[in-house]
Structure 1
């Protein structure tokens, strides 16, 4: 046994296999505890050269020395064995003398492991071959099979040849259509030729090797099931390769109808083409065509909708007896968001409405025509022979979401057990300002009253953190905790005596920020309070925090702060400088309660009370002057200094009032965590413009660099307090042009919140968007999506107020004969503006619009410009 262990430790796999061959089952079982102990030993430091050498031999020996199929399967697929496993050939060799039933059990168990477990296909297939069991059809096995078959370059034959030779082809081919995300692996092979999966399977169905009906049914079922885009492309290509006959297409009419309704765009287009061919050959009933039209005309893809209207026009010309049903189907396009689609549908109705005999159909068409844009609605009234007044819309009323109500911060947890649970949640995920602040206050309170009980309760919560078991010399507080201040780990490490007092004192005296960037002032002020609280926990615990906000935005009510200062006075507690500075920056100064609270504060007779009274009664200074600067495609802002924040504040807070420069501070830094931005907003809950000017570069990346996530802070920025100036509006403008839909949606939410609070400067935002589109920072197509989304909520007047200042900037080059081509997507933006103007009854002239509308031709840009001009001239509300 010792010789086998020596071979395993030395990584001599051949010697170990030879020794195992000469052992009985009892001897192997007796050896397994030693192998398990060695595995535990290697796992502690599995990246050393010794571990890498021993693992393959240990992998094989451990599998050979167990008798239970479950245990062997678990050993073979273990994550720690994945990096340096034994070869499949060696594993099959050491397991090959077992009973077929046992081998089948192991084969199916390891095949049930997830694809990410990395179990080699050769091992699974080898065990299946030895046992003679049915081939598994699990996700891992099918993925492995596809990869194995596709590696033809290693063998010199083709995918088609290898599939022909596979004894399990029928079972695995059927499983192929039921396996998740298999399209990405199939796409690795060529799209055409003998090494193409699509052509190989089509050829095998034509030869009768695979059952054609079953394979075609499975392919259609897979397309109906949906999935990632790679699956759509591969299986649609495969379906086309099958070259279905007309009888086969007719047999699957129900599937085509379902695909045209719900499938991905490329799949729906194929289904639509098949159904169109059937319809034009008279092999689709009127009811089926109406059903298909109802589904396709409801889709957003204009190409599919236009193709469906063309099909309906052809059928209407050939089958006048079905005109009533088909025109009702056409009228469903009256509600489409694209005015060109509406016009196409109306033209079709106008062409064939004379064939309608009954009044009921005309009444139904007139009812549907209420969804048309005003100019088309008037046309429809004339065509249908109804009075225009019957199609008059209801007066427009702007619908904005109610302004969000602030959330009051709950009191700190009363028990250490409840507090420990809150800390555990915070460590596992990002928390909002309210949760973070109440938990921070809870740690301070319980550390003051019973530190030992708090430490005991926190023990299980922090046990999994790396520094909990590290020795203090191994922890460099400035490097680790200085970059992650928004978590509570610094306070937890302080409570558990993992941070030296000298390090805490140094941070309080000299600060922690050695990397100046545009966020530096925000980060330094936030860090200063955390480090000072940690230092006071160690040296002179605070009874509670003065700066805990009243509301989730970070705002602190003045009466509440005065009461806290009074409690400090009665308890004889020394105020923390950073905590008090943060409280001053958070306290409300803009209502009547501030004056009354100032009198109470002055009556306290303390230094802090006098300072608070002076702060509350001082005139709120105007924001510093801002200046625009251009950096590539970006428009960024600089601002001057604010002396109020540099007087009588601790050194780490004074940078908040210093000038912000576009070119002086570094743009790239370690502040990559999006969740920290909400806490920066809570630093200055009544001065959001000062935060926004420092976040502007980050927010610009969602549009310019196509990054994701930074715009999540925009709704919080809109809910915060203080003036919404250039920085706030530019931030929203970048968000409206973001690459990712979730960022655009966050920007739309922010826009609507500002509008509902009466703080939106639509003219400023619109002009900013025009300049950003013109400079290439924002793509017009993305702005169109954002504007359309906001308008769909009922904010048509708000969006028109914005776009009426965006469009002149973009139309100016066309009107002045500039050489630049119109911005891509400008026609769509004009369409959104026209719809908003029609719905709201907007009137007036738009600079440069007339020149575009008077251009020759019938391009979409010209058509939408004429539509908008007509809407503004008529002033008709939809």
Structure 2
């Protein structure tokens, strides 16, 4: 019907609805095909003014003309009309004359769609009301209902009042307990009054509107199921608001035991408090209390563990007959990592052993006591009347990870199709340097051999890029994007985008020529030298793709670390000679920086072969391979606030060839003296750092110095992610000097656990390679903690993680130089309050000393150990002092 379509196009929704009211079902069905064609037409440009004007009317017309429930639901929830559709009131009007069963079917189909489909709750609820059917209990409907009820404050009354009037209250409330991630929607306001969900649900339960047993069971079951913290907080608040009676608590002892053992900390604490009250009133059998203790004492939360020991002490004091069952449970704490917990447990055993003294019990407790620290182990032997426990039968052996072996890069992909597949994989991940270098070489080789085949194979990959659409206007936009003078490759994928766009013909040759001939120094930030060299090679490759494709890349590394074997580079230069190909300057400069010179014998032999090539590049390579060994540049430390940074002077080994390098490579030989990132620094993403490291695979200190400011942000500014480069720095080559050591120190004090874990990995790799200066690192850590750049508690977590791998000797070798700096001001008792976490650091040091058999004096430790009180710091200082004394058994 042409008049209806004209009204829809004009967006005259009211007239469309009026016209539809007068049509028969057969006439409506006949309009569906035309409405679908109009929808297809508008979908091409959904945001233009015509589409936005027509969509509400089209939405209503299509819903009214659908005669099947499935088709109607699909039309109503269509994504293309989601933001410009008809209002729920209009849709309910055009659907209101359908049969109840049909309306119910549509309502439930809409409710089964995911919440992300954004089907309006008002529409679903209106269909339920018209159909007179049961309310759906799906995720989308329940979420919509909860938001609608809580947000209907304009209707007056409290949330409790509005819920009390809801005809579908019981099934929908029951569904709340089964809905994931609902806590964020129901947790505000965070009190238990009648206008909060917890207060309203508790009130409805007290009134009898909701069955109490069902509500309590559902709440406990939800806590047992676990989930996001925001959900658990909500349902725990509700459980507390329900104020369970003693009978209700007693009926659920098995649930409380399960929650105390495995639930999140706040939930476990509540379960523990319930069980504690039952135990102290004699309503929890000693066997069940022992079962509970075995689980809770195994948990890592010290607050829960200490509360459990306090509970056991109270029960033992009241019920002497329970000692036989409860003392073995107390001994579960002998294996706890915290020595203070171990001592608390031992005191309980000492105090109550006489209440159930037997040879069998002593033997069992003696077996558990082998887990105690040495000083407590000797004390337990005296308590139990056993012979002093012998020293360990085996000599301590440090456990370090295997030395990481570099991985040889596989050859470049053999076919253009394989190149395209691997390019797609690299664009999706972007972090694998070896994969990036392989596809880079593959692109170059196949562009040289068969440009057309490569372009065809890359088409599916290119079409998914933002610039790869069919619109010709994108050709200019892509060229403009890459021609910006300040543009840098913030991500590795940007470099691949440049090459793909070049193959596709989206970047002008003049743009590429301008990029490779521009003057250097366009960036002032500390990363400029690394970024400039990395980008110059890619710009040059793109330019040669467009003008004179290279047969292969000279600089593709042999190993995953970025190193290039000298014989392999000679072979590639020989290929260039045979083909008469022109060497690319940046590619060759990168190859020289990557070629392995540390094996002087192999370098000398390759130099002879290079000289025999009779080419200028062969002669340059020969001179480079036989040049004197690298002399570390002069360097010094500088301070910036709480930070310690490193400045480097000129790099002697690069200076004498710097004039032969392209302009963008010359800054690599210059001083590192600007360690403060400028405001215009674009290098905020750490994914590019691993690629920069492979620029100088035998000179990691030069890279570390330029990244040191970013690494310090991990500890000082609580940044995230930069520490991912530390394991790669540890596996790279060259001196492990001040810059790497300070970077590692900042990483060990990082805010985020994943950064601390990466730093521990780097620490262990350096130790396994014999390149860790533990004394220097320990001293640096002490100074950084003293200056406030590194927090002791974070450092203690890192040290404990490293020690738990078996590297107790390594960690002690580091901490024995950190602690004297921190304890110095405590020695006389007149210094400032100790830094938070120093006691934890002493605890890790004590454990490492005990495990590794360390002996000797530690400066200023005695002063800390002789302080008054029993604080964590004092108790652990005393423990460390005992461990270092010769007379204490290992």
Instruction: State whether residues 194 and 203 of structure 2, in contact with CA within 8 Å, keep that contact through their aligned partners in structure 1.
Output: no
Aligned partner of 1:243 in structure 2 is: 243
1:478 aligns with 2:486: no
TM-superposed deviation, 1:42 = 4.0
Q: Residue deviations 1:752-802, cap 9 Å, x none?
A: 111111111112222222222222222222112111111111111111111
Gaps of 5+ in 1: none
1:300-449 → structure 2 map (5 Å cutoff): 300-390=300-390, 392=392, 394-449=394-449
1:860 aligns with 2:869: no
1:756 aligns with 2:768: yes
> 1:184 and 1:665 mapped to 2: Cα distance?
39
1:568-583 → structure 2 map (5 Å cutoff): 568-583=576-591
Which residue among 733, 740, 747 is the counterpart of 1:735? 747
Instruction: State whether residues 811 and 848 of structure 2, in contact with CA within 8 Å, keep that contact through their aligned partners in structure 1.
Output: yes
1:694 aligns with 2:706: yes
Aligned partner of 2:164 in structure 1 is: 164
Which residue among 611, 616, 635 is the counterpart of 2:620? 611
Instruction: State whether residues 520 and 663 of structure 2, in contact with CA within 8 Å, keep that contact through their aligned partners in structure 1.
Output: no
- Per the alignment, do residues 577 and 112 of structure 1 end up closer, same or farther by CA in structure 2, a change over 3 Å counting? same
> 1:540 and 1:839 mapped to 2: Cα distance?
64
> 1:239 and 1:681 mapped to 2: Cα distance?
55
- Per the alignment, do residues 146 and 874 of structure 1 end up closer, same or farther by CA in structure 2, a change over 3 Å counting? farther
- Per the alignment, do residues 664 and 842 of structure 1 end up closer, same or farther by CA in structure 2, a change over 3 Å counting? closer
TM-superposed deviation, 1:299 = 0.2
Aligned partner of 2:695 in structure 1 is: 683
> 2:453 and 2:380 mapped to 1: Cα distance?
78
Aligned partner of 1:638 in structure 2 is: 647
Secondary structure at the counterpart of residue 646 of structure 2: strand
Q: Residue deviations 1:14-67, cap 9 Å, x none?
A: 232222223333433443444434444444443444444433333323322323
Which range is displaced more, 138-147 or 82-91? 82-91
Aligned partner of 1:793 in structure 2 is: 805
- Per the alignment, do residues 393 and 65 of structure 1 end up closer, same or farther by CA in structure 2, a change over 3 Å counting? farther
1:592-603 → structure 2 map (5 Å cutoff): 592-603=601-612
Secondary structure at the counterpart of residue 675 of structure 1: helix
TM-superposed deviation, 1:163 = 1.2
Aligned partner of 1:711 in structure 2 is: 723
TM-score calculated relative to the size of structure 1: 0.96
Instruction: State whether residues 838 and 875 of structure 1, in contact with CA within 8 Å, keep that contact through their aligned partners in structure 2.
Output: no
> 2:677 and 2:273 mapped to 1: Cα distance?
58
Aligned partner of 2:837 in structure 1 is: 825
Secondary structure at the counterpart of residue 628 of structure 1: strand
Give the count of matched residue pairs. Answer: 878
Aligned partner of 1:464 in structure 2 is: 464
1:500-519 → structure 2 map (5 Å cutoff): 500-510=508-518, 514-519=522-527
1:202-217 → structure 2 map (5 Å cutoff): 202-217=202-217
- Per the alignment, do residues 230 and 485 of structure 1 end up closer, same or farther by CA in structure 2, a change over 3 Å counting? closer
> 2:24 and 2:643 mapped to 1: Cα distance?
75
1:22-421 → structure 2 map (5 Å cutoff): 22-390=22-390, 392=392, 394-421=394-421
1:765 aligns with 2:765: no
Gaps of 5+ in 2: none
Which range is displaced more, 271-280 or 189-198? 189-198
Which residue among 624, 629, 637 is the counterpart of 1:620? 629
> 2:458 and 2:487 mapped to 1: Cα distance?
18
> 1:693 and 1:709 mapped to 2: Cα distance?
17
Instruction: State whether residues 635 and 772 of structure 1, in contact with CA within 8 Å, keep that contact through their aligned partners in structure 2.
Output: yes
> 2:746 and 2:222 mapped to 1: Cα distance?
40
> 2:353 and 2:261 mapped to 1: Cα distance?
27
Q: Residue deviations 1:409-439, cap 9 Å, x none?
A: 0001111222211112122222411111111
Q: Residue deviations 1:304-346, cap 9 Å, x none?
A: 1111111111222233333232111111101101111000000
- Per the alignment, do residues 668 and 284 of structure 1 end up closer, same or farther by CA in structure 2, a change over 3 Å counting? farther
Which residue among 540, 548, 558 is the counterpart of 1:550? 558
TM-score calculated relative to the size of structure 2: 0.95
Which range is displaced more, 507-516 or 819-828? 507-516
Aligned partner of 2:820 in structure 1 is: 808
1:523 aligns with 2:526: no
Which range is displaced more, 402-411 or 349-358? 349-358
Instruction: State whether residues 770 and 810 of structure 1, in contact with CA within 8 Å, keep that contact through their aligned partners in structure 2.
Output: yes
TM-superposed deviation, 1:209 = 1.2
Instruction: State whether residues 853 and 863 of structure 1, in contact with CA within 8 Å, keep that contact through their aligned partners in structure 2.
Output: yes
Instruction: State whether residues 491 and 534 of structure 1, in contact with CA within 8 Å, keep that contact through their aligned partners in structure 2.
Output: yes
- Per the alignment, do residues 492 and 294 of structure 1 end up closer, same or farther by CA in structure 2, a change over 3 Å counting? same
> 1:622 and 1:571 mapped to 2: Cα distance?
37
Which range is displaced more, 791-800 or 463-472? 463-472
> 2:735 and 2:38 mapped to 1: Cα distance?
66
- Per the alignment, do residues 248 and 497 of structure 1 end up closer, same or farther by CA in structure 2, a change over 3 Å counting? same
TM-superposed deviation, 1:189 = 3.0
> 1:822 and 1:534 mapped to 2: Cα distance?
58
> 2:37 and 2:178 mapped to 1: Cα distance?
41
Secondary structure at the counterpart of residue 636 of structure 1: strand
- Per the alignment, do residues 595 and 368 of structure 1 end up closer, same or farther by CA in structure 2, a change over 3 Å counting? same
1:847 aligns with 2:847: no
Secondary structure at the counterpart of residue 630 of structure 1: strand
Which range is displaced more, 771-780 or 677-686? 771-780
> 1:7 and 1:513 mapped to 2: Cα distance?
63
TM-superposed deviation, 1:403 = 1.0
- Per the alignment, do residues 454 and 153 of structure 1 end up closer, same or farther by CA in structure 2, a change over 3 Å counting? same
Secondary structure at the counterpart of residue 639 of structure 2: strand
The RMSD of aligned alpha carbons is: 2.0
> 2:629 and 2:45 mapped to 1: Cα distance?
60
- Per the alignment, do residues 61 and 318 of structure 1 end up closer, same or farther by CA in structure 2, a change over 3 Å counting? same
> 1:664 and 1:357 mapped to 2: Cα distance?
68
TM-superposed deviation, 1:242 = 1.0
